[in-house]
Amino acid sequence: MTMIDRRQALAGGAALLAAGATPALAAPADTLNAAAASRGRRFGSAFAFGTAGADRGSFANPAYAALLRRDCSLLVPENEMKWQAIRPAPDRFDFSRFDPMVDWAVANGFALRGHTLLWAYSRWFPAWLNNYDYGARPASEGARVLSSHIDTVTRRYGRKITSYDVVNEAVDPDTGNLRVTSLSTAMGGTEAVLDHAFRTARAAAPHAELVYNDYMSWEDGNEKHRAGVLKLLEGFRRRGVPVDTLGVQSHIGLFAPSPDAGALARRLEPEWRRFLDAVVAMGYRLIVTEFDVRDKGLPAAIAPRDKGVADFARAYLDIMLSYPQLHDVLAWGMSDRYSWLRTFEPRTDAVINRGCPYDDRFAPKPLYGAMVGALANARELRII
């Protein structure tokens, strides 16, 4: 593939700007994707499977589909492409939930990201994989189990999926070391697993952007996680592993009472920029893959909570979008009604977290305006 082909493929339909080009001034941008498009970028969201009429963050729920249509040009499956969903047994795949999502996305003109070809964390492996008997030649059997997965998924969807989170969350945030799994034990180390995953993905889907995705975030306490991710990214470069982009999940959070979220953001900014600078200096692009805001530290009262969330998010996204290497921005769901945080990380007072652009009754919140503002003010895009 020529460089130009590759750049076109990576841009995946977004306006492609050559280095130094001036983006056309856009018409007033009042939706998330329009704001993103005005600066040559795309906005998208996670979405789910659901049967018609089910109250889920699904394409088959008209209320949710309307938000996707209004604000998004790209989508990512929240759970339906994970091993737990599509690989019920070593020799069996099940695409019955993911296929209709892909069909709907393509029929409605959305680009698609694939999440994830390997969630490198045993907590999220299917049980059979944690207990798998790799036999007498564990390294080659591990490589086979992994490549059969990557080959099967990438070939099935071909060019319908233009970007993959090839590997998700391989770094242990407590130590910065790589996580140990049954696959890494079989293959003689985690690096061997990750390198094999990326090399297999590049061979099977040469058109696609290959992303390492993780949640090393900008808040205090993530220092080891960030350092571990930098070390991993350096290693990929040293070993010539084909990784294009760092996926910054961006589940950002206000965990303590924060009367001035903007001030907190300004304190966090320098160290966060040092991290991002180091990533782009290695030649990686950036993508925000799973944006939402955890508001645990804020009071339940709606007005101050929404203001804190919006201010914190605006400051964060302004930083991210000041990087010309950052292209797509995706939210991990459009409405608080279906956000994973409701069950995964409930607030102690049990009120619904307000970290998605729309509330639980599909009304846009101050966060929505903050996101539009940040997207519309983004630095010009430069795809490298």
Q: Which is nearer to ligand XIL, 95 or 340 (CB)?
A: 340
Sign of CA dihedral 221, 312, 164, 45: positive
- SS3 assignment, position 35: helix
Reduced 3-state DSSP string for 259-316: CCHHHHHHHHHHHHHHHHHHHHHCCCEEEEEEEEEECCCCCCCHHHHHHHHHHHHHHH
- Minimal distance in Å, beta carbon 78 to ligand XIL? 5
Neighbours of 371 (CB within 10 A): 25
- Minimal distance in Å, beta carbon 120 to ligand XIL? 11
Q: Which is nearer to ligand XIL, 78 or 336 (CB)?
A: 78
Q: Which is nearer to ligand XIL, 38 or 249 (CB)?
A: 249
Q: Which is nearer to ligand XIL, 200 or 289 (CB)?
A: 289
Tokens of 290: 């799973």
Binding site residues, ligand XIL, CB under 6 A: 78-79, 168, 249, 290, 340
Q: Which is nearer to ligand XIL, 123 or 361 (CB)?
A: 123
Q: Which is nearer to ligand XIL, 31 or 213 (CB)?
A: 213
Main-chain phi, psi angles of 80, to 5 degrees = -75, -5
- Minimal distance in Å, beta carbon 79 to ligand XIL? 5
- Minimal distance in Å, beta carbon 102 to ligand XIL? 17
> Where do we find the tokens 């086979």?
144
Q: Which is nearer to ligand XIL, 79 or 377 (CB)?
A: 79
- Minimal distance in Å, beta carbon 170 to ligand XIL? 11
Main-chain phi, psi angles of 293, to 5 degrees = -125, 125
- Minimal distance in Å, beta carbon 45 to ligand XIL? 12
| CA-wise closest residue to 278 among 217, 248, 343, 233 | 233
- Minimal distance in Å, beta carbon 339 to ligand XIL? 8
Burial zone of 4 (CB within 10 Å; 0-12 exposed, 13-18 middle, 19+ buried): exposed
Give me the residue whose beta carbon is nearest to ligand XIL: 340
